[in-house]
Amino acid sequence: MLRRRFGKMAVTTVAGAMLMAAAACGGSGGDEGTTANSASGASEAPKASGLKVGLAFDVGGRGDKSFNDSAYAGLERAKTDLGAEIKDLSPAADGSNRGELLRQLAEAGYNPIIGVGFAYGEDIKKTAAEYPDIQFAVVDSASNGPNVTGLLFAEEQGSYLAGVAAADKSKTGHLGFVGGVENDLIKKFQAGFEAGAKSVKSDIKIDVKYLTPDGDFSGFKAPDKGKIAAEKMYQDGADIVYHASGDSGLGVFQAAAAAGKQAIGVDSDQYETVKEADLKKVIMTSMIKRVDVGVFEFIKAFKDGTAKGGSDNVYDLKVDGVGLSTSGGFIDDITAKVDEAKKKIVDGSVTVPAKP
């Protein structure tokens, strides 16, 4: 597997400005079916390079303040730094036209093409076989073709750090986890969070709720369900709830604000991407997943002629591919504890489970 280093992050924050200029996981924009969005408002791009990059979002599309927006930040950086012509497409609300979006980009001459989310795995496998001269990448899914690169992340490792922080900060010894869809990917977040929390307090209680079963991706775009799930956890005694539920996390934050409790965001630094002041103050940290870096580095490697199909790029704690944000200063007092937990994972002293 290919590993790439992209600068020191440790316990830090994704550049909020980059993400605000721009999407475990789903936001607005997907209900109208297939849509094409041209990037605008970015700083003036360098002279056109002939590079044409297409990106197909996960359910919800651009504007989810999380997973999709992070991917878009990497795409927009390719426009700004590499002179790329870019195009992004959003799927229908049920994601049924993912393959159609990929073919639309291929027919329009975009190369490379990136699918955001594991749900693109099979569609990219089929489309890549139909267009062998085009390079594809898929976020959260392993390579499944000679012209496909997998962009993978160690979500369980970043979630372990979130669990350490939550257990140390909890006053009730009771936490919660809200997952958008009950599948293997989101279970990695749960597994890491539980392991990290129990490394601090072995008897800590952790409530778990998934919003939809495997295959039903509406759980990434259901703030009402996220709110109901988190409300129950807070009522039952949890004082911190971690979500890995895309756009549904907004409901978790709303429940935290109403209960006077705290929550942990996911994928992007959600303290920076959420606009409402009353919600910002309840986001004690976010588990950052650097999809933006993965997307940009793949595009750059393609431009440089070094992108390798049939392989995976893995972003873990060793390359700061995941981590925790510190926006708001809520976990500044436990930075040393989080750094120590990270060190043990990186040096192999601790192996984080990927399954609950």
* Sign of the alpha-carbon torsion through 352, 215, 140, 338: negative
Strands 174-182 and 240-244: parallel
Q: What is the pLDDT of residue 279?
A: 97
Q: What is the pLDDT of residue 45?
A: 41
Q: What is the pLDDT of residue 37?
A: 42
Distance from C-alpha of 243 to C-alpha of 254, rounded to nearest angstrom = 12
Q: List average pLDDT for each run of 10 residues in the chain, which is 356 residues long.
A: 40 37 38 39 53 92 82 96 96 90 98 95 96 97 96 97 98 98 97 98 98 93 97 98 95 98 95 94 97 95 94 94 96 97 98 97
What pTM was computed for the model?
0.81
Tokens of 31: 């209900």
- Cα 147 to Cα 57, 112, 126, 300: the distances in Å are 20, 10, 11, 16
Tokens of 117: 């989310």
Three-state secondary-structure class, residue 17:
helix
Going by C-alpha positions, the residue among 1, 292, 294 that lies closest to residue 137 is 294
Q: What are phi and psi of 311, to 5 degrees?
A: -145, 170
Q: What is the pLDDT of residue 93?
A: 83
Q: What are phi and psi of 213, to 5 degrees?
A: -75, 170
**Domains (range + CATH), the chain:** 2-154+291-319 (3.40.50.2300), 155-289+321-346 (3.40.50.2300)
Q: What is the pLDDT of residue 67?
A: 84
Tokens of 345: 């994972």
Distance from C-alpha of 141 to C-alpha of 153, rounded to nearest angstrom = 9
Q: What is the pLDDT of residue 282?
A: 98
Distance from C-alpha of 26 to C-alpha of 106, rounded to nearest angstrom = 24
